[in-house]
Structure 1
Amino acid sequence: MNAVTDLGLYRHLDEMVPWDDRLQVLEVIGVTEEAPEVKTFTFRSDAQTWFRYKPGQFVTLELPIGNEPLMRTYTLSSSPSRPFSIAVTVKAQAGSIGTRWMFDHLKTGMRIKAYGPAGDFSVHEHPAGKYLFISAGSGVTPMMSMLRWLNDCAPWTDVSFVNCARRPEEIIFRKELELLGSRMPGLSLGFLIEERSSRESWSGHIGRIDAVRLPLMAPDFREREVFCCGPEPFMRAVREMLAASGFDMAQYHQESFGAPPAEAVPAPLGELDIEIPADALPVCFSLSDVAGDCLPGQTVLQTARASGVRIPAACEFGLCGTCKVKKLSGKVEMSHNGGILDDEIDEGFILACCSKPLSPLEIEA
């Protein structure tokens, strides 16, 4: 890996172009332990480009595990106000495959493919005069990205930051949060743990977040724009609590990633002893030099899999943008959830997971 003193490593931002996930990969430049079973992986572009994204967005990493790479989506914990690198902070859950591989194998100097950034869970999408960030566990990562951006760009912003953890030592970014609390005049911190620990003393709130504890940490929560991230049971409890309190749920936003749908990969139609329906539409995958037939109701991604063509995909509901491919000809019906930009659509790109052919297609894949 190049040393920082190497000639040409440093360039001014106006001499660089934004990172392009179709052309460049990420190089690991740092691995930091944040809490038990929690690490931050910091990356730079391998082509000296800068990162343009909104605080709170996520990327999808392509992890080289087994015969087929594993796609895993992680929220960025870094801030776009510091555009020369990006970082993800991940917690290794019991039985996790991708995160455990990262812990065991992803070292400084290694390179991996990534897709994104994507997502609309950001203060940039929902600006307000006062914010309430509620998180649990590694759900703190998008909140940290947004808070770091606010600290750099608007440190006077009124933010109530509530974070829940099992034990004191499991509060991710605790020291940095306390430092920011001393520097940002509008920031109030509220930590809530479930149980005491023999490793660290604790004099703060104990228990689980509820209609009694939330007003103690954020008395004016009904006046704030709420961002929530954490395990689904946690977010469900927060939603129900806010709704029961009369909170305007139009001011509530949450971040979650659904698991890819369980879907049997169909065999190539040519290998099946069935007659292709007359209304099937031909799809040509130009880079793979493969021609397939899309059955009624199928997506481009399903057709690619049935034809033996690999298109990377993670969320598979139009959110992460991993399956972005270029449509060279033809028409599709695309119903996405924010994983593709309007200018990318104008350039001919589609998301394979949520695009259904309306005519014969030629796809660059």
Structure 2
Amino acid sequence: MAHVADADIDSSVGQPSQVTLKTAFTVCFAVLAVAVFAVLIVKTEAALILTGLAALFAMALDHLVSLLVQRARFRRSSAISVVLAAVLIVLTALALIVVPAAITQGEALAREAPELIEKVRTSRFFQLVDQRFNVLEQLQRKDQNPAELASGALPPLLDAVTGAFSLVGAIITVVFLMVFMLIFGPGLVQRVLAQALPERRPRYERVLDKMYSATGGYLSGLTLICSINALLTSTCLALLGMPFFLPLGIASGFSSLVPYAGPIVAGGFVTLLTLATAGVWKALLVFVYFVLYGVTEGNVLAPLVFRRTVHVNPLLTLFAVVFFGELAGIIGAVMAVPLMATAQIILRELLLIRREKLGDRVPVP
């Protein structure tokens, strides 16, 4: 037995290694490629975010372009021109009707901000909260009152101007990318698909079509939710006699861009302003409204709309918002749902391919 064992050991020692030089080189190259890709993502984060936003807007408008091409028999170039002109007209109308009043109320809100902060600080409700939780002690700096703290927190003028120019540049970049995607995107996709094997091309087309439909459905659902939020909040604040109901309602509508968390933050801010301008009872009514609306949007409206449009489980939606919000801030939270929908579509196709390879032929969902 000992001779047999020694012979087995000698034979195993004499066998060549299963790890070849080619395998080791491939593994090292893969690790290096992943590292380079990660560094590239970190270095080009802003460009990737702008490109992603442009792609979302382009896919949303492309649904309207396709509708004009298929139903009204427009040429694609003419359909793109009509859609862009319609969007410009709508934005101009909103700018002429809503924006002036919103700017006027917003400027009044900015002028009265120190006084409102002081009213909140001296209100009985805030004093009761401060006695229990020492809010002022945690917020105040040395020899600064809340109004001075708010003023000192404002960025310098140079940073504000630089940020404004950066914002304008980002908007122009997104618009140009969106237009170029609308014009040249479909042709580029078709040329890429033409390089695929004929037997695999239908699968790729099906995946891209699902991703396209999911993204368009998400954007339409998100637009609906934001509009409902802005309309209901503006109406509620106007009925309560709030002097700044229009900018606050619009801000509340934009807060729905971040599912679940956005309306909660907006509700807290608006409740504090109502406390400073209209008293405790109206602030309590605003608080009750935002609680009811937040529960309705988070548990009924948003899951229903997202599930009907992008077919993502509400629990996965919440996980995606938390994860991508931590990863990329507000932009990540906004793009979380379409990214999760895309990942879910790709994962389903990969599982379908695996089942087909194992011989379990299943119909395509």
Q: TM-score range, shorter-chain basis?
A: under 0.3
Q: Which has the higher helix share?
A: 2
User: TM-score, normalised on structure 1?
Assistant: 0.23
By relative contact order (CA 8 Å, sep 6+), the higher-ranking structure is 2
User: Who wins on radius of gyration, i.e. which is larger?
Assistant: 2
User: TM-score, normalised on structure 2?
Assistant: 0.23
Q: Which has the higher strand share?
A: 1
